Amino acid sequence: MKRTLGQAGGKFTGLAVVLMLAAVLFFPGIGCERLKAEKLKEAAGQNQRLVPDLRSTNDYFQRREKLLKTIPVQGFFSAPRLNASETNVDRLMDQVRSLETSNFNRLGQFPPAQMFFHVRPAIEGSRLFPIFQRLPKGGLLHVHESSSGRSDFVITNIARRADCYIGWSTQPGGPRRGRLKFTNAPPADDGGLNGYFPFSILEARLRSQGVVLTDELRHLYMLDETDLQEDKVWAAFGTWWSLLPDLMRHRPVLRDFLRDAFQTFHEDGISHVELRVMVPVATMFDYHAGGLVNFSERETLQEYLAARDFICARFNPHFSIRLVLCGLRGHTNSDAATVLGKVREYGNYFPGEHLIAGCDFVGNEDGGRPTLAEVPAIRAATAQAGAPIQFYFHAGESARPGNDNLVDAVLLETKRIGHGFNLFRLPALEPLIRTNRIALEICPISNQLLRLSPDLRTHPAAGYIHRGLPCVLGSDDPAIFGNTGLSYDFWEAYYAWGLDLRMLKQFAESSLTFSALEPDEKSAALARWHNQWDAWVRWVETQSF
């Protein structure tokens, strides 16, 4: 059938050319007609080049090859060229991936197609996982402060502090179960399981009933198979806050939590972190000589700098941080005027540190206040005197039709976009995002656990990368996801989207290029990162796979 149509098409083309030539000869004055004729001729030629002659096997495969070459990875991700060593590493990694993917598929257990909490051990068992752990990742640009650390650290360290008491009740699902309370006055003990207890006492009483406290706390703090619906996952974020209300308020706890989080990032090859922090920031408390002491918002922000200095002094003198201040969509204290006011106020606290990068609004986009509702207040605030405020909007963290927060994020000239998952519904924005160099902060594991893309192979970022949209990888809420650093997200993206080393390199490099670092800091960080990358490539080449 196709051959017949092709022949008919050929006849039609021949006839059309004769008619057009006749038209040009007999009506030479009709310039636009001539132009049209040339266009038709050109189109006919192109069509001829694309449509294979099905009678010839060679012709089909030659044209197929030609077609594939006309759709290369565009612009952004095709930029980095690989040297001989990198090409070798690219080949080695691809070979391991192919082998492991075949094995996973044979068993019907390809990890990116399953929920992260089920496949974490399988990822850790991959021969490429240690390679990803050592990969210099540059910056982590999308992570939230209270869930930036490790739940395991909360369970093994914070929950065992002498001033920490763990809430429990005999009522399954009671709101007190797993709640941590920090006090210098031991709560009353009923001798049973209702109330607040030191870790060791609660652990012993539960053990006598065959219950393991650490398993219970893991279940309460982290997502698992009981959180299977999208709304339940959003509820889990609220549960985290309600069970750990003083995590970011009790000064020694905040200090330990941040230091552990930053050290975990450093050990995962991350040298720069931009944390989303809720405003107004939590005011801390502590106990001195038996009395309660309260601290200011400025002192809370100082703790972030102190945690950075802790890492700089011990592990990496160039470790850097920035904070993106966030309002909670629709929350009383989170209107744009308050959030923008705090951006200006906090920005003046530590001159020379450039600690505050800008602002954002977070929360469930499908159930919360849209970005559009904040536009009048944003316009009013930005019209005021003072340094311009930069935006880093969460937008498009949704798979549902009708969410157009991305439109407002682009119109408000956001520097980066948190997620941008539903950009596939708004293709008209793609040229603007590309031209204005707005990076999408892609968080694969987060998007999977929120059920935006339960099978990561169908995540739209695979297409965004091939269409040359600037992208970086983020971990979002690693404590709640049972994730740490960025290695798991890199591994999932590499296996699910068929990335190559050029793309991995671009992801890492872009995380510094699109960071909020000052220009001189950025070029120094990029120079250091290039050296680390070259060292990593040399190291991978020495590994036996």
Choose between 196 and 221: whose C-beta lies nearer to Zn ion. Answer: 221
Shortest spacing between CB 441 and Zn ion, in angstroms: 8
- How far is residue 203's CA from residue 166's CA, in Å, rounded to a whole number? 10
Q: Using CB under 5 A, which of the segments 63-71, 339-347, 473-481, 482-490 binds Zn ion?
A: 473-481
Beta bridge partners of 367: none
Range 78-117, binding Zn ion (CB under 5 A): none
Tell me the closest approach of the beta carbon of residue 476 to Zn ion, in angstroms.
5
Amino acid identity of residue 250, one-letter, is: H
Cis peptide before 252 (omega within 30 of 0): no
Greatest distance between any 2 Cα atoms in the chain: 108
The residue among 126 and 146 lying less far from Zn ion, judged by its C-beta, is 146
CA distance 530 to 535: 9
Site string for Zn ion, 427-466 (x = CB under 5 A): ----------------------------------------
Residue 441's closest CA among 397, 377, 496?
397
Of 34-42, 147-155, 262-270, 475-483, the segment contacting Zn ion by CB under 5 A is 475-483
Count of residues near Zn ion by CB under 5 A: 1
Q: Give the nearer residue to Zn ion in terms of CB position, either 165 or 481.
A: 481
Any idea what DSSP says for residue 188?
A: P
Stretch that binds Zn ion, among 127-135, 196-204, 236-244, 472-480 (CB under 5 A): 472-480
Three-state DSSP string of 343-395: HHHHHCCCCCCCCEEEEEEECCCCCCCCHHHHHHHHHHHHHCCCCCCCECCEE
Is 365 a binding residue for Zn ion by CB under 5 A? The answer is no
Binding segment for Zn ion (CB under 5 A), chosen from 9-17, 190-198, 303-311, 474-482, is 474-482
Q: How many CA atoms lie within 13 A of 39 on its CB side?
A: 6
Of residues 329 and 466, the one with the C-beta less far from Zn ion: 329
For Zn ion, the closer of residues 365 and 476 by Cβ is 476
In the chain, helix, strand, coil percent, each to 5?
A: 55, 10, 35
DSSP string, 506-523: HHHHHHHHTSS--HHHHH
Distances (CA, A) of 539 to 133, 315, 339: 13, 20, 46
Task: Please state, in angstroms and rounded to a whole number, the distance separating the CA atoms of residues 277 and 328.
Answer: 10
Q: Of 252 and 330, which has the nearer Cβ to Zn ion?
A: 330
Task: CB nearer to Zn ion: give 216 or 476.
Answer: 476
Nearest distance from C-beta of residue 143 to Zn ion, angstroms:
8
Choose which of 260, 374, 476, 509 interacts with Zn ion (CB under 5 A). 476
- Residue 286 as a binder of Zn ion (CB under 5 A): the answer is no
Angle, helices 84-106 vs 501-513, to 10°: value is 110
Question: Which residue number has the CB closest to Zn ion?
Answer: 476
| Nearest CB to Zn ion, comparing residues 256 and 476 | 476
**Which amino acid does the sequence have at 101?**
T
In whole angstroms, the minimum distance from the beta carbon of 278 to Zn ion comes to: 12
Rounded least distance, CB 398 to Zn ion, Å: 12
Please, which residue, 260 or 476, has the CB nearer to Zn ion?
A: 476
Stretch that binds Zn ion, among 72-80, 377-385, 471-479, 516-524 (CB under 5 A): 471-479
What are phi and psi for residue 495, nearest 5 degrees? -80, -40
Q: Is 489 in the site for Zn ion (CB under 5 A)?
A: no
Q: In terms of CB distance, is 149 or 167 closer to Zn ion?
A: 149
Q: How far is the CB of 423 from Zn ion (least distance, A)?
A: 16
CB of 477 to Zn ion, least distance (A): 7
**How far is residue 453's CA from residue 540's CA, in Å, rounded to a whole number?**
31
Interface residues with Zn ion (CB under 5 A) are: 476
